[in-house]
Structure 1
Amino acid sequence: MSHLFPDTIETDRLRLERLSSETVDPLAYYRICDSDPAIDDVTRHTPWDPHETPNETLEFLENREDAWNESRSADYVIRPLDSQGEADEIAGTCGLGVDWAKRTGDLGIWLRERFWGQGYSGERADALVTLAFDRLDLEVVSVLVQADNERSLRACDRYVERLGGSRDCRLRNWWTMAVDEPADAIRYTITRASYDPGKRRSAVSLEASR
């Protein structure tokens, strides 16, 4: 197990736990990724389709475990804390991909529809940007959002600006999405020099105890 990434991160309302077959029941995760209400809406702006078999889910979890062990990506399952009335529920997953040569971390997240609109994306950003700059000593955090994903663009505009970053550019035909159509991406960045930790809206514990 990589010693670089904390197994658990806690914010005011969320617990982020390492995404693996040890922390997530693969069959329960399969049911979410296969047939959760509005899963088609959730995956419309992601590079993955709803999962078709439990084995696909297991292979995905094993892939993320490999990336963790090789210090390429810190992936977490998002769970609301007891205070939110939905303790231990899986709200979605998030991650920080790391390009060590470029000293850059790439943020990613998806949330189940019933957890939309609660500010969880920004709170998770507080946690992973803290991880990137305070623990991993990276120089840049970037976010890529599909150009027609208005909900995510609004969320990114808010938390990136709050933390001292900016919307940088539009990347034409950057992605081939799950529907096999090229899609433009909007790129945001937060640099270490511009980052303002005082603007975090949540406390962040990178070594939260279970």
Structure 2
Amino acid sequence: MHTLFPTCLETDRLIFERISHETVDPFELYAFVSRDDWQTDATEHMPWFRLQRLDQVAEFIDRAEQQWADRERARYLLRSNDEGGEIVGTTAYKPEWDARRAGSDIVLAPAYWGRKYGLERASAFVELTFERYDLEAFYTTCAADNEPSRRMIEKYVEKYGGRHEGLLRQHSPRPDGTVTDQHRFTIVRAEYEDVTTELETLDFDVEWEMPPPRGSSSE
């Protein structure tokens, strides 16, 4: 198993749990995504996360495992320590190795909006991008009419010295055939380094699945 992605991260209030068949109970995840607020408000702008059957949840986990193995995406459940470890949403870290940049996505159940979970999660991914993965930019987008996401993104982009690049018109297709305009935000290395000179970064717990020592036997 390669170790490019953390198997678990823990910030002040959030636990990022790798999505795989070894770590995630599909019945627990199915119960979470079956909530009315998940099937409506939470996924209004990301309808591909509206998993409506148990087999779709299993397929979602299958895809997460394949993306992990292909080193193209690390997908996590988000659990909240404030809620006794309950699932509050999902997130993914998405490196683009050739372009030397990374992005991410997040879907939170509306009951947990306004608690700055999105800011806390994004801060971990931004810092990993520049300090662990040695990439040159972190970017993200949100639908033009998704004001809650835009406000959350603006907070962490400002924190790390980035900026709003503009509105990408007719940019992102949805399953129903519509295409949405998307705001794009970017943080580049020079901006990040300028504002973090005197900050303590990577101040969270990270677990990596380490390979066995060379010459060791599994027997």
TM-score of the two chains, using structure 2 as the length reference: 0.87
Name 1:154's counterpart in structure 2.
151
Q: 1:112 aligns with which of 97, 109, 112?
A: 109
Residues 89-168 of structure 1 mapped to structure 2, 5 A cutoff: 89-168=86-165
Q: 2:191 aligns with which of 183, 187, 194?
A: 194
Question: Residues 55-84 of structure 1, C-alpha deviation per residue, up to 9 Å, x if partnerless?
Answer: 111111110111111111111111112xx2
Q: What secondary structure is seen at the aligned counterpart in 1 of 2:111?
A: helix
2:84 equivalent to 1:74:
no
Name 2:59's counterpart in structure 1.
59
- Going from structure 1 to structure 2, the CA distance change for 1:178 and 1:42 (only over 3 Å counts) comes to farther
CA distance in 2, matches of 1:149, 1:161: 18
Deviates more, 1:44-53 or 1:139-148: 44-53
Q: What is the letter of the counterpart of residue 163 of structure 2?
A: S
Q: What is the letter of the counterpart of residue 97 of structure 1?
A: K
**Once the two structures are aligned, what percentage of the paired residues are identical?**
36
2:138 equivalent to 1:178:
no
- Is the contact made by 2:38 and 2:110 (CA closer than 8 Å) also made in structure 1? yes
Deviates more, 1:143-152 or 1:171-180: 171-180
- The structure that has the greater radius of gyration is 2
Q: What is the letter of the counterpart of residue 171 of structure 2?
A: W
- Going from structure 1 to structure 2, the CA distance change for 1:79 and 1:39 (only over 3 Å counts) comes to same
| Aligned residues: CA RMSD | 2.0
Q: What is the letter of the counterpart of residue 69 of structure 1?
A: A
Question: Residues 81-124 of structure 1, C-alpha deviation per residue, up to 9 Å, x if partnerless?
Answer: 2xx2x122001011111111001101110101111110000000
Q: What is the letter of the counterpart of residue 89 of structure 1?
A: E
CA distance in 1, matches of 2:10, 2:173: 33
2:24 equivalent to 1:21:
no
Q: What secondary structure is seen at the aligned counterpart in 1 of 2:105?
A: strand
Q: What is the letter of the counterpart of residue 168 of structure 2?
A: L
Cα deviation, residue 204, structure 1: 2.1
- Is the contact made by 1:123 and 1:201 (CA closer than 8 Å) also made in structure 2? no
Matched residues, number: 206
CA distance in 1, matches of 2:159, 2:202: 12
CA distance in 2, matches of 1:99, 1:38: 29
Cα deviation, residue 200, structure 1: 7.4
2:32 equivalent to 1:32:
yes
Which runs of no fewer than 5 residues in structure 1 stay unpaired? Answer: none
CA distance in 2, matches of 1:162, 1:200: 13
- Is the contact made by 1:11 and 1:202 (CA closer than 8 Å) also made in structure 2? no
TM-score of the two chains, using structure 1 as the length reference: 0.90
- Going from structure 1 to structure 2, the CA distance change for 1:63 and 1:208 (only over 3 Å counts) comes to closer
Q: What secondary structure is seen at the aligned counterpart in 2 of 1:206?
A: strand
